[in-house]
Amino acid sequence: MRTGRSPQQSNVDMVPRMPSWVTRARAETLEDVAFSSGAALNHLHVVLVDPSVPHALLRERLALSAAEACVAFSGRSERAADLRDAIHLLRPGDLPGPAGETYQGWRGAVERPVSVSALQRALPGCAAPQIAVWLDRQNMRAATQGSPVGRASRVLEAVLADMPRAEVPALILADAALAQALGWDHLVPLLATGLKRADLRKRGDDLRLACHRAVIASVIDAVRLAADLARRTAHLTAVAPQLRASRARDAIEMFLTQDAVAPAALPLPDRAARRLCDRLVDLGAIRELTGRDTFRLYGV
């Protein structure tokens, strides 16, 4: 009996785990929490350059979580399943609604490399010059003031000072500032899922402390998610040669990069697309995400 692991499986198992001293830390002072959040971000950086991690898919899943948190901040009841339906089952000419617009904003923010133009497309309610002012404000201070999380918290505070009810743009731009400060090409949603609604009313050191704590909690979850997605996408890639459908490779690429996919969105005839999804579910390579018999969505 073979006991050795394939090179692909070995690479997946090498996705590094968060050090226990970070996950168990109970620091209270701003300096101690900042140290722990810096260690967490350094670990996440290692994960984000790991070739076994599906980076686009990871950002999509984190964007869904961030959108769900923002919808909850606004007092609405929609959850992840509702947000998926609002976007992936949207018909031409339909509007996604407030919760769907929040999800669209986060998806747009993580899709392209961070830039003012990309952020403006994700946040059509914000003018590009104003976005540049908010981000340049933290960049001008970068050389002399604070950590990347501190810079992100200043952007969050500045946007909310100018637009007190614009939590979604504020959080997206704060994560963009964090990505820029860390030298990441793409925005990685972290702050929204770790902050509480009451934290958004804080200012100064209180807000910075809340942001550092939010980053620690969110990075722990993001690293776990990255390891899980690495295992799942490795299996999907391994079973792909068994598929006979034409353009199956293009369909696989969609599952490897998108949180959820409707069969109608696959580059296949309708019946062939549904058969492919059923086959991949049978192979344990993807999951049906809705639990419904109709209007199904699939994902890794």
Q: Decide if pLDDT at 295 tops 70.
A: yes
Are residues 176 and 274 located together in one domain of the fold?
Answer: no
Side-chain-side CA neighbours of 102 within 13 Å: the count stands at 26
pLDDT digits (tens, 9 = 90+) for 232-288: 999 999 999 999 877 899 999 999 999 999 999 999 999 999 999 999 999 999 999
Q: Render pLDDT for 70-97 as a digit per residue (tens, 0 to 9).
A: 999 999 999 999 999 999 999 888 999 9
From 136, 128, 175, select the one nearest 156 (Cα to Cα).
175
pLDDT for the residue numbered 26 = 67
The residues facing 261 across adjacent strands are: 298
User: Residue 57 in contact with residue 256, Cβ under 8 Å?
Assistant: yes
pLDDT at 16: 76
203 and 114 inside one domain: yes
Q: Do 206 and 280 share a domain, yes or no?
A: no
- How confident is the model at residue 245, as a pLDDT? 76
Give CA–CA dist 278/286, Å, rounded. Answer: 9
Using one digit for the tens of pLDDT, what is the confidence trace for 130-157? Answer: 999 999 865 545 444 568 999 999 999 9
Beta bridge partners of 299: 287
How many structural domains compose the chain? 2
Mean of pLDDT values over 186-209: 97
Residue 57 located in a structural domain: yes
Are residues 281 and 162 both part of a single domain? no
Q: 164 lies in a domain?
A: yes
276-298 in b/e form (b: 16+ CB < 10 A) is bbebbeeeebbeebbeeeeebbb
User: What pTM value is reported for the model?
Assistant: 0.91
Decide if 15 is inside a domain: no
203-238 pLDDT tens trace: 999 999 999 999 999 999 999 999 999 999 999 999
Q: What is the reported pLDDT for 24?
A: 67
Residue 99: give the domain boundaries: 28-230
| pLDDT for the residue numbered 89 | 95
